[in-house]
Amino acid sequence: MIEKELENTQSIVVKLRAENHEIHLIAKKVRAFTHLNGLFSAILTYRKFFGIFKEREKAIIKSIISQSYCSEEYHLGLSEIFAALVFVVRHRFVDRDTAQAAFKRCWGHLKDLQFEQLLIPVGRGLASSYVLDDRSFDAICLLTKIHGRSQPFG
């Protein structure tokens, strides 16, 4: 399914470049992605996608995570959820606060499945990225909440 979305991404980008679509049509296409792989492929390929993504980043990522990765109706395997979250945390074009919101959402979902411990390395990576952004306090707060099992990690 992810492979099909990546193929669709390529055709969408080619069409949009050829037709020079208006911004509202591009925004509609960006919001239509159901997997992060396709979305990130598109925004790294087509500058207008990237601009629209940055304007609505938190809402777009939250929507995809909630609907496609952590919903009752749609269950991806743990490896797909883990890989998507690692991708969000590792790539600097995703805002750190957006990455943390995605991390918290996935943590809650995996906690319900009793697999939340799998995300501890991702939490460490997110904390490290905070340090690189001179946000050491945020890194300490995140790790303290995870270790202390404070909300939403409790």
Q: What are the tens digits of pLDDT across the range 51-96?
A: 878 888 888 888 888 777 776 655 567 788 888 888 889 888 889 9
Q: Which residues contact 87 (CB under 8 A, 6 or more apart)?
A: 36, 37, 40
- The first and second tokens of residue 140, run together, are 């300490």
Higher-confidence residue of 9 and 99: namely 99
The model's pLDDT over 35-47, given as tens digits with 9 standing for 90+, comes to 777 788 878 887 8
The predicted model scores a pTM of 0.75
Angle at Cα 119 formed by Cα 118 and Cα 120, nearest 5°?
95
The pLDDT of residue 140 is 96
What is the distance between the alpha carbons of residues 82 and 16, in angstroms, rounded to a whole number?
A: 31
CB 105 within 8 Å of CB 70? yes
**Strand, coil or helix: 34:** coil
Please, is 94 exposed, middle or buried when counting C-beta atoms within 10 Å of its C-beta (0-12, 13-18, 19+)? buried
The helix or strand, by DSSP H or E, that contains position 69, with its residue range, turns out to be none
What is the distance between the alpha carbons of residues 130 and 138, in angstroms, rounded to a whole number?
A: 7
pLDDT band at 18 (very low <50, low <70, confident <90, very high): very low
Whether 102 has a pLDDT exceeding 80, the answer reads yes
The pLDDT of residue 15 is 53
